[in-house]
Structures are given as C-alpha cells and as structure tokens.
Chains A and B, each alone.
Chain A
C-alpha cells in the first residue's frame, strides 16, 4: 500500500524498491527469513536430541499438565492451547490494525494496536506462569550416578500408577546439612540451594513404604514410562546420587537434562521475541497517537511491525507443535 501512495519518491526514502516492495518491507521480510532459520536451527537441534534419546525422552503431556485454579487436576495441553489462542487473537487484532491503516482510520488503528499490546502482555504473563511451574516442579525425583532420573509412583486399585511426591514418603531424619555459602568456608565456593530432603531420607523413606515403586525414564511399547518391580526399584535406588526438585539448567526432575535446556532456550528465545514485539508495538502505538503516520499519509510502519508480530505468532505455532504435541 505504502508503495503506491508515495511512488514518486526515491526508493531509499520509502518509494517502491525492487520486486514491488518498499525497501523497509523487503528488509523486514528478509530479517524474518533469517530469524526463522535461527528458530528452525533451535527446533532441529531439539529434534536431533530427541531422536538421539528417543527411548528416554520425557513425555510432554506429563510435564505440562497444569491449569490455573485447577490444582492437582491433570490438564495436559489446555494451558498451551489457551496461550496459542491468545497469540492468534492478538495477531487478528494486529491485522485489523493494518487493515484500518490502509483506510487511514487513525483511531481504529490505535485501538487495535492497543488490543494487540494487551494480548502480548497476557501471553508474556502466561509464559511466566508456565516457567514458574516448570522451575518449581511438582513431585521431585532422584538422579543416579549415571545421570538417569528416577521418579516415584504408587499402584492404584485400577492397576494404573499414580505419581507420588517425595514429600509423601520421604522420612525426616535427625541429620543436618548446612547450606554452604560463599561467605563462609572455602573462599568463593558456594553451592546451589539444597533440596528439601537428602538422598538418605528419600531412600530410607522408600524402603519403609512397600507400596512405592520407581518409574524409570525408559518408554515401553505402550508409550508409557516403565515402572520397575519393587526389587528392581530398590536396586536402582542404591545408585541414587542427588535429590532433584524442579528444573534448572543442570538437572531437572522430568527426565533428560537436555529437555529442560531446550525448554528454557526455545520458549525463552520466543518469549524474548514477544517482549521486543510488544516494545516495538508500543512505540508504533504512540506514533499513531501522535499522528506521525497521518502526516506521512501512509501507515506502512504499522504493516512492518505487523509482519514482525505475525512472525512471532508463526514461531509459536511451531513451538507448540514440536514441544507440546509431537
């Protein structure tokens, strides 16, 4: 649109460039292209690691099964589906703003830009909540010397297994372990936060409660994680090395270490894009209010940020598929 309005000007000042697009829009497209390749690099690397550890990779439905106000209810995917809707909807308001720009309707552009910004903030908030749950963890697990994660389950009456949290069976023994900080002891050596229970407390609690079994990382023919027998469980637990609660970049209670690393990097990189998108949208929103584009007789700038915003939505569609669905 902008191209046709100011066609008598020089190409570098916003007039038409090669292939019928203005330079501004064309370079936004090529930026998006390169950014898309960065994201596909991330997602392909995730695919590589997943195929490499195909038998032991965590099952996303079991990890992301929280929904606000439904505590303890197993709600896989509803929350990410909601986040997808939020982002798609903010894309719709963005494209409505672009459409209103084509008709030079300043107040309509401003209104839809405002809705888009709100949608962006809601999405960022949702992502923060998702990260909070992921980092905090729910059940806790034990890591062995070899780096495998052992989770704990209890057999139910219908023959299925229910996850149990460490707090449900771990003993509290009269042992004390001080949190070591940089300010005392060996110079400049600290340690990460100690878990609630020591390995010893978990192992002894496990030995005391006959109904609890270990669930290994291995995925069986029914595509569930394999639950070990009581004897095997006790044997595996002899190799226990760390108690893991929640997730960080070193270890996580969900399974393979790379799973949390990819989660943090991919959703984090995407969240960073959403954040910058919101910032740019805010700047353009104020420019719209000030009448900058009215004076310029072209709302092409709204179109360009719109491209970026839709791209963020486009990436989320792929993250949603490859992280949560597949």
Chain B
C-alpha cells in the first residue's frame, strides 16, 4: 500500500467526522421532510429520497475508499470490484423497480379488485 508507513490517524478521524455529519444531515432531513423536496417528484421518486440516496453513496464512497483502503489498491483490481458491483446493482434495481411500478399500475387500472 502506498501510504503504509506514515500514520493515517488524522485522516481516519476526518473521515469519521464526514460520515457523522452526513448521517446527521440525513436524520434532520428525515425528521423535518421539507415540503419542497418531499412533494416534488423526479423519475418516479421524490427529491428527498434522491437526496438520501446520493448521501448514502457519498458515505459508501468514504467507507470503501478510506476505511477499506480501496484508494491504495491497484487501479484494475479496484475496478474489478467496484465496476462489477455498481453495474449489477444499477441493472438489478432498474429492472425490479420498473417492474414493480408496472405491476402497481396493473393492479390499479386492471379489472381485478385487490383492495378489500
């Protein structure tokens, strides 16, 4: 690892600060739920949810890069893990969420009664 011989303690605490801050921001938004974000939809989801997902990805980045030392690995090793995961996750969630929405519409506009 490139930075093995110097101490990373300071960096670790900075990352801890960032992760805590992001979590606090998430909780504050989750409790107050600003109307402008909560009631505005974008691509089938409200902006508040998009904000949460982006903040989650920010946290995931810091955990993998700083705590799991992904930044110290060779470029193609890193890519073999990260690209595989990212591609398959985007693919899976796209397929399943679109399908879920489709089934919802079938239920809602179809002839069968499903709320009793």
Residues 65-103 (chain B) with a chain A CB within 8 angstroms: 66-69, 73-74, 76-77, 80-81, 84-85, 88-89, 92-93, 96-97, 99-101, 103
Within the complex, which residue of A21, A49, A85, A148 is in contact with B115, where a contact is CB–CB below 8 Å? Answer: A148
B40 within 8 A of A: no
Establish whether residues B107 and A52, one from each chain, have CB atoms under 8 Å apart when the complex forms.
yes
Nearest-neighbor residue (CB-CB) of B74 within chain A: A20
For the A-B complex with A43-B93, A146-B115, A313-B67 known, give 18 more contacts whose Cβ atoms are closer than 8 Å: A4-B1, A19-B73, A19-B76, A37-B85, A37-B88, A37-B89, A47-B96, A51-B44, A52-B100, A52-B103, A78-B27, A81-B26, A96-B9, A98-B69, A99-B7, A102-B4, A145-B116, A146-B116
Establish whether residues A317 and B67, one from each chain, have CB atoms under 8 Å apart when the complex forms.
no
Establish whether residues A52 and B73, one from each chain, have CB atoms under 8 Å apart when the complex forms.
no
Establish whether residues A311 and B68, one from each chain, have CB atoms under 8 Å apart when the complex forms.
yes
CA–CA, A76 to B56, complex, Å? 19
Establish whether residues A99 and B27, one from each chain, have CB atoms under 8 Å apart when the complex forms.
no
Establish whether residues A51 and B52, one from each chain, have CB atoms under 8 Å apart when the complex forms.
no
A310 within 8 A of B: yes
Establish whether residues B31 and A85, one from each chain, have CB atoms under 8 Å apart when the complex forms.
no
Nearest-neighbor residue (CB-CB) of B16 within chain A: A92
Establish whether residues B96 and A45, one from each chain, have CB atoms under 8 Å apart when the complex forms.
yes
Q: Which residues of B contact A19 (CB under 8 A)?
A: 73-74, 76-77, 80
14 pairs of residues in contact across A and B, judged by CB atoms under 8 Å: A21-B74, A40-B88, A44-B93, A47-B100, A48-B96, A52-B100, A77-B27, A85-B23, A88-B19, A88-B23, A99-B8, A303-B69, A320-B56, A321-B53
Establish whether residues A21 and B73, one from each chain, have CB atoms under 8 Å apart when the complex forms.
yes
CA–CA, A141 to B98, complex, Å? 32
Contact digits for A71-85, partner B, Cβ 8 Å, 1 yes 0 no: 000001110010011
CA–CA, A132 to B107, complex, Å? 34
CA–CA, A148 to B63, complex, Å? 41
Residues 102-116 (chain B) with a chain A CB within 8 angstroms: 103-104, 107-108, 115-116
Chain A residues with a Cβ closer than 8 Å to the other chain, count: 67
Q: Which residues of B contact A29 (CB under 8 A)?
A: 77, 81
A273 within 8 A of B: no
Establish whether residues B116 and A148, one from each chain, have CB atoms under 8 Å apart when the complex forms.
yes
Q: Which residues of B contact A321 (CB under 8 A)?
A: 26, 52-53, 55-56
Q: Which residues of B contact A146 (CB under 8 A)?
A: 115-116
Establish whether residues B85 and A44, one from each chain, have CB atoms under 8 Å apart when the complex forms.
no
Chain B residues with a Cβ closer than 8 Å to the other chain, count: 56
Q: Which residues of B contact A88 (CB under 8 A)?
A: 16, 19-20, 23
Q: Which residues of A contact B76 (CB under 8 A)?
A: 19
Contact digits for B6-50, partner A, Cβ 8 Å, 1 yes 0 no: 011100110010011001101100110000001100001000010
**B31 CB, nearest partner CB in chain A, Å:** 6
Q: A52-B103, A325-B30, A326-B53 are in contact. Are A99 and B96 (CB under 8 A)?
A: no
Establish whether residues B64 and A314, one from each chain, have CB atoms under 8 Å apart when the complex forms.
yes
Establish whether residues A77 and B31, one from each chain, have CB atoms under 8 Å apart when the complex forms.
yes
Establish whether residues B100 and A50, one from each chain, have CB atoms under 8 Å apart when the complex forms.
yes
**A221 CB, nearest partner CB in chain B, Å:** 9
CA–CA, A218 to B76, complex, Å? 49
**A110 CB, nearest partner CB in chain B, Å:** 17
Establish whether residues B116 and A147, one from each chain, have CB atoms under 8 Å apart when the complex forms.
yes
Establish whether residues A91 and B67, one from each chain, have CB atoms under 8 Å apart when the complex forms.
yes
Q: Which 10 pairs of residues, A with B, have the shortest CB-CB distance?
A: A146-B116, A51-B100, A19-B77, A48-B100, A48-B96, A20-B74, A321-B56, A1-B4, A52-B100, A44-B96
Q: A19-B77, A40-B93 are in contact. Are A48 and B99 (CB under 8 A)?
A: yes
Contact digits for A35-70, partner B, Cβ 8 Å, 1 yes 0 no: 011001101110111111111100001000000000
CA–CA, A290 to B22, complex, Å? 39
A30 within 8 A of B: yes
Q: Which residues of B contact A170 (CB under 8 A)?
A: none
Within the complex, which residue of A21, A26, A44, A50 is in contact with B92, where a contact is CB–CB below 8 Å? Answer: A44
CA–CA, A54 to B18, complex, Å? 33
Establish whether residues A47 and B97, one from each chain, have CB atoms under 8 Å apart when the complex forms.
yes
